[in-house]
Structure 1
Amino acid sequence: MPSSPSQPVQAAFADMGTALREVTFVVVDLETTGGGPGAHAITEIGAVKVRGGVVDSEFSTLVNPGTAIPAQITVLTGITNAMVADAPPVAQAVAAFLQWAHLADPTTVAVAHNARFDLGHLRGAARALDLDWREPVVLDTLALARRAWDRTQVPNHKLGTLATFVGSPTTPTHRALDDARATVDVLHAALERLGPQGVTHLEDLATATDPVPASRRVKSRLADDLPAAPGVYQFLSPAGQVLYVGSAVNLHRRVRSYFTAAEKRTKVARMLDTTVAVRVIETPTELEARVRELRLIAELDPPVNRRSRAPQRRPWLHLVDSPHPHLGLTAVLPLSEASRAIGPFPSRKAALEAQRAAESVLRLEVWDGHSARAVRRADTPADAGIAMRALSGEIDLVAHPLLARIAELSAQERYEEAGLWTQRLRALLLGARRAEQTRPLLTCPHLLAARRREHGGWELVAVRWGRLAGSAVTAPGVDPRPTIATLRATAQVVDRPARVGAETSVEETALLADWVLDAGARLVEVEGLDDDVAGQSLEGGAAAALSWPVGAAARHRRVIDAEV
């Protein structure tokens, strides 16, 4: 499928992340009365504002807590009741600190040693005194130091021990400003230690204290040259084997996240430890990236990806045209029958449950696969035309009688039977919904659709016989018509398939249907539908032409979403 020419990408600041040298760290320390967070606990605030390794400014004030300072706290900190008698009250001191700190700035990080204590007291005081508290990004140097140095390097991770270890000229004294100054030195030393392991951007701080092995975190450099654009990524083994395939709206950010956050999936974590390279395919749109992901997984069968086996062999429920019409299952569905079949089902078991549900209402003859003959029911079978209507979109013809039966069984307190029929109805409705979703695209020779992009411009896709044939984007304020013409001319030629799933997985078609049937989508042109639909403008919207019928399965969301 066509895509934009490969060009050097200048990533946006937000896409690549904020380098730590551009981050403002507000390193804060508090002294308190020893009580819990609130309006009467803080006795001193000390803070240092640093950026790019340089001190920008400092903040220091004693605070009158409005209550007596216990003797043991005075012994520890040296702060007496007399010292705070003329100091500003908690509300004034905390308000002044918040105004100085600008913690709401997205590139500012609040830092403290055992941050839960210091930030907890600031938060508690602000809320108790009705001050404007906006939750900042927080970094705890205690947790950071534990990641940077283990017990073989430092006997403990107390602030005094760490300050001596990193050579801080300031000795912590249990006075707020001194302790904040020492914490600054510990912060810089820890970040310098963790930098080679991938902690280089503001976004890394959220996972800097996660238990990520250093050998894995250092591999974040594999993402350094990746574009901040949509695409597909492949993790490669030393032998060049593709271990895993994924898609992303931002390749740089997504790939980097694998190596800087704790991965809880054992299989993926092992894969990351053996990965030596990452290969990417940049795409114009996220949708094309997701489609390419599906195709590559099907083609390469990477060992770490989860996917259903042999998706092309999933069964469909259809009406067998014979002297004895009956419902049957098939994995080979001619495209000409796609408009009057239900599926595909995730398994043969699910398909059989749906078949039993439909047969119980339609009263068709039951096909005996062992004897290859129809088994006539005792009652008179209904017209096969009713079955055809149900399979073609009027699933209510089956759903309503089954819902009535389930209600009756429940009223008789026959709950086990009611649950069994609910399970069968749910299987039927899930298959019907999947068919309703994909039918319009499976049987459409050509479709161009568009959706507005968040920051302006249009995202365009071309779909042919349920397959993505191409995609493109237009810049904000640019007339999209030339791009539409180019996409129409360069989109992949797709011949009409003989059967469903022969060239394109139904998973791909379902993905495209979700995009096209979204409320924000606009149909630009459609072949194979009514003349009054084709050629709709970007603003006109023709999604109703691909909407579900009145008796569609989507109406029965309560049953579909039920856990049976």
Structure 2
Amino acid sequence: MALSAPYRQPALEEMGVPLQLVTFCVVDLETTGLAADAAGITEIGAVKVRGGEIVGEFQSLVDPGEPIDPRVVRLTGISDEMVAGAPSLEEVLPSFLEFLGGATLVAHNAAFDVGFLRHACDKVEVPWPRPPVVDTVLLARKLTDKYETPNRRLGSLARLFGSPTTPNHRALDDARATVTVLHGLIERASGHGVHTDLDLIEFCRAIPSKLQRRKRHLADDLPHRPGVYVFRDGEGRALYIGVSKNVAKRVRTYFTAGEQRRRLRDMIAMAESVDPVVCAHRLEAAVVEFQMISRGKPPYNRASKYPEHRAWVRLTKEAFPRLMVSRKPPAVGEPRLGPTTGTQAQQAVEALHEALPIRQCRQRLSASKPVNPCFLGEIGKCPRPCDGTATVEDHAAVVADTARAMGSDGASVGRALMARMEQLAAQERFESAAEVREQLVAFERLFAQAKRVREFVRAGTVVAASPGERGGWEVAVIKSGLLAGAVSTSPGFDPMPEIDDCVAGADAVEACGDVRDASHAGEAEILLRWLEEPTTRVVAVDGAWSSDLPGPVDTFSA
């Protein structure tokens, strides 16, 4: 289907940076309380280290803008008088974030410090940089024994590892003590195969189950490339299918305690292998994942991803057709709305019933065998084809109006329902008017969705490109709403020769005027979402297609 990109040596950050080259920023905060949303920061202290050497220090008192509890004063020694002339959080926080830079953040009980820092960023409206975080408490729980230290408090660990600085609830001194603890723990972690920053962050997480540790070898030798990964049991059957822009890195997370989902832990218990499917880029990976889940229906993927569970609004085939919600897709060219959820489909049917006098009863009718009308016929909500009041030709005209409303004239339903809402509101039947509004919203959303996909499928061939994370372009050749070719172009070179080769080698796809089934619609939606990203640019369209997408692209930056 797609052209795979040539092999690329994994980047350093994909493999992990050796710990001796990693810059750590060890931070400690003093605060007025324990809850980030109810307390303020009184002091920030940080020490930046690399290769076992201190490369910088940061310390500042902070005026919290509120009185400090006397109990906190006794603990930290920081009083209202000390912070009275200190800078505000708005002044200190940007300076600290600049000091932090791109370093890995380290703290003792990191959840506390990170929680306060994130809340502080929200408060002063600066973005939280989301640095990698290492918690020395979690490391100590895994790397120290009770016979060595009675607990994992900073003071106890500082004594264990011989810190020259004694923690005293002042931010900079506590950060200095944490540096010694960090170095001692890293030395011990090396005996557990921890040699890079990624190893350390993963090892720092809460203890995984014995089963997860035993199965961790399944993540060995996987590619650091975009693609799909398939967990398989001992007989080769697919258990779970996932997607990632870095398969190796993503699969490793299933074997840490960060994976807490019971369903997936059960899956890991059955897994005996992981098969990667390398793709040209993230878009191709997303499409391949969707296709593989649709075909294989692995038991540990959510059933909601199965296309056959989607619903359609369609017309029945009989003398007097009616609307129905069905999981069976209508033939291409037949009136339809969808695919969508069953609830939205039913709401759309109710909207059409409110706007058009198409029959609603479920029995099969025959012009030669009239039957007594139902309640809707008796109150004038149905033209009564059942008793011969409406002929086959009369009802056919209503069906034709319904088909147009589903295909090209959705506005007629909107006008009818708006008029009905105004009528109900004038009668002060506000709850009924609200129900009609919900029906209208559901119909308009489904109509717009179906029209959007239909016009995309009819467009023929669309060639588009999005900038790659490491340069070059991620290119897709789309035919009738399906991915027919994909390539990541080489950074630093004119991309057009590679794009032309991808177009020439793209799969042949039969042209069609509408989506064939829910799988077709699902793939088209994935492609449309990618095309609607701000950075995606349309290179060429072989057909007629109008959209609010950016493009076309006249030139590419190599």
TM-score (norm 2): 0.72
1:333 aligns with 2:330: yes
1:466 aligns with 2:481: yes
Q: CA deviation at 1:283?
A: 0.8
Q: CA deviation at 1:201?
A: 1.9
Instruction: Find the residue that maps to 2:100 and give its secondary structure.
Output: coil
1:235 aligns with 2:231: yes
Deviations 1:23-57 (A, max 9, x none): 22344668999999889x66xx98654323x2335
Match of 1:375 among 359, 363, 386: 386
Q: CA deviation at 1:305?
A: 0.2
Match of 1:205 among 191, 201, 225: 201
Match of 1:160 among 155, 159, 178: 155
Match of 2:542 among 516, 526, 531: 526
2:287 matched residue in structure 1: 291
2:11 matched residue in structure 1: 12
Contact 2:319–2:365 (Cα < 8 Å) also in 1: no
Counterpart CA distance in 2 for 1:395 and 1:101 is: 53
Counterpart CA distance in 2 for 1:468 and 1:160 is: 59
1:62-211 correspondence to structure 2 within 5 Å: 103-112=99-108, 116=112, 137=131, 139-149=134-144, 154-164=149-159, 166-168=160-162, 170=164, 172=166, 174=168, 182-193=177-188, 196=192, 200-201=196-197, 205=201, 208-210=204-206
TM-score (norm 1): 0.71
Cα distance change of structure 1 residues 120 and 319 upon mapping to structure 2, 3 Å threshold: closer
1:22 matched residue in structure 2: 21
Contact 1:198–1:260 (Cα < 8 Å) also in 2: no
User: Structure 2 counterpart of 1:243, which letter?
Assistant: L
Match of 1:486 among 491, 496, 501: 501
1:552 matched residue in structure 2: none
Counterpart CA distance in 2 for 1:232 and 1:115 is: 32
Q: CA deviation at 1:351?
A: 3.7
Task: Give aligned pairs, total.
Answer: 514
Structure 1: any 5+ residue segments left out of the alignment?
542-564
Q: CA deviation at 1:472?
A: 1.8
Match of 1:396 among 407, 411, 415: 411
Q: Comparing 469-478 with 515-524, which one deviates more in the overlay?
A: 515-524
Contact 1:334–1:498 (Cα < 8 Å) also in 2: no
Cα distance change of structure 1 residues 421 and 261 upon mapping to structure 2, 3 Å threshold: farther
Cα distance change of structure 1 residues 353 and 537 upon mapping to structure 2, 3 Å threshold: closer
Contact 1:103–1:134 (Cα < 8 Å) also in 2: no
Instruction: Find the residue that maps to 2:263 and give its secondary structure.
Output: helix
Counterpart CA distance in 2 for 1:385 and 1:372 is: 19
2:462 matched residue in structure 1: 448
Counterpart CA distance in 1 for 2:306 and 2:290 is: 13
Cα distance change of structure 1 residues 226 and 76 upon mapping to structure 2, 3 Å threshold: same
Structure 2: any 5+ residue segments left out of the alignment?
64-68, 368-384
Instruction: Find the residue that maps to 1:375 and give its secondary structure.
Output: coil
Deviations 1:46-76 (A, max 9, x none): 8654323x233576999999xxxx9999999
User: Structure 2 counterpart of 1:307, which letter?
Assistant: A
Cα distance change of structure 1 residues 497 and 503 upon mapping to structure 2, 3 Å threshold: farther
Counterpart CA distance in 2 for 1:375 and 1:109 is: 74
Counterpart CA distance in 2 for 1:76 and 1:329 is: 67
Contact 2:28–2:113 (Cα < 8 Å) also in 1: no
Counterpart CA distance in 1 for 2:430 and 2:542 is: 48
2:2 matched residue in structure 1: 2
Match of 1:360 among 354, 365, 370: 354
1:245 aligns with 2:241: yes
Deviations 1:85-140 (A, max 9, x none): 9xxx9669xx999989963321243434778479969x99x999x9x998784644
Counterpart CA distance in 1 for 2:189 and 2:447 is: 53
Q: CA deviation at 1:378?
A: 6.8
1:429 matched residue in structure 2: 444
User: Structure 1 counterpart of 2:19, which letter?
Assistant: L
Contact 2:149–2:157 (Cα < 8 Å) also in 1: yes
Cα distance change of structure 1 residues 198 and 492 upon mapping to structure 2, 3 Å threshold: farther
Match of 1:418 among 409, 433, 438: 433
Contact 1:22–1:107 (Cα < 8 Å) also in 2: no
Counterpart CA distance in 2 for 1:480 and 1:225 is: 31
Q: CA deviation at 1:289?
A: 0.8
